[in-house]
Structure 1
Amino acid sequence: MAVTRQADRVDAVRDLVRANGKRWTIAKGAVVEALVGADEHLSVQQVHETIAARFPQIDRSTVHRILLALAEEHVVHVLGRQGEARYGMADEPHHHAVCARCGRETEIPAKVIAPALSKATAATGFTFATTSITLTGLCETCTTS
């Protein structure tokens, strides 16, 4: 079931990219598959390592360019962590919590943050266009150590 789910996500991203008038290439598909299959956000190097065995012709700079293009298309989002950008899929609405001490990242479902955004809109009159909010704090492990 998980494999079908991952394939469905890749297909949906491919359709979105094409609908936006962009090309879908083997390299772009490999990068998206790597991100969809990951349990966490990945660096350019990690994505490259994930796809290198299957696609040795795709170099690290190509992976980097693809990730930047996908970020511009709002297909992936970028988290900065200790000087290294990490990329994750943006196809399922969520936000992020990042530990300021160890760098651990976790996703927060968008529905958890939605009430706070509604209150912020009511208090300020702003309409917030959010693709991702990153909250910084201390994870459970760092809080207790």
Structure 2
Amino acid sequence: MVKTKRQTRQKTVIYRIAKESKDHPTAEQIYERAKKELKTLSLATVYRVLKELVEEGKIGEIIINKQSRFDFKTEYHHHFVCNYCGKIFDIDIPICEMARNCVEGPGHKIEGAQHTFFGKCKLCREKER
């Protein structure tokens, strides 16, 4: 378990924004949202704080197309990424628990996992009709 670092105003705001964001934002998107409250905030501070929050287990990090995205859900789940609009959707399906049971059943301990489905989301499919 990683020791929790000092709680600063910047960390409080960045954490709140990450927890309220359901769109799996990038560090840059979180920075733009936080700048509205913290005028002197730097992008470097956002990167540092996000790294701390991930290490503390308070938010999740997923890497899509070599870019970190941040997830308010820290429990085990999968993602669906639309190849057309870029939106990321949480997928909560029994396979998550089945996979966990298969790996941890023999005594292993999962400390992190990522499975991502790629395709065309419902909205993009409807646009082409």
Under a length normalisation based on structure 1, what TM-score does the superposition of the two structures give?
A: 0.69
1:46 maps to 2:29: yes
Between the aligned residues of both structures, percent identity stands at 18
Partner of residue 45, structure 2: 62
Higher RCO structure (Cα 8 Å, ≥6 apart): 2
- How far apart in 1 are the matches of 2:94 and 2:41? 37
Q: Secondary structure at the match of 2:77?
A: strand
Under a length normalisation based on structure 2, what TM-score does the superposition of the two structures give?
A: 0.76
Aligned 8 A contact 2:83 2:119 in 1 = yes
Partner of residue 127, structure 1: 108
Partner of residue 118, structure 1: 101
Q: How many residues align?
A: 124
Structure 1 segments, 4+ long, off by >6 Å, are 142-145
* Superposed displacement of residue 66, structure 1: 0.4
1:60 aligned partner, one-letter code = L
CA RMSD of aligned residues (A): 2.8
Q: Which of 83, 98, 101 pairs up with 1:101?
A: 83
Aligned 8 A contact 1:94 1:110 in 2 = no
Q: What stretches of structure 2 of length at least 5 have no aligned partner? A: none
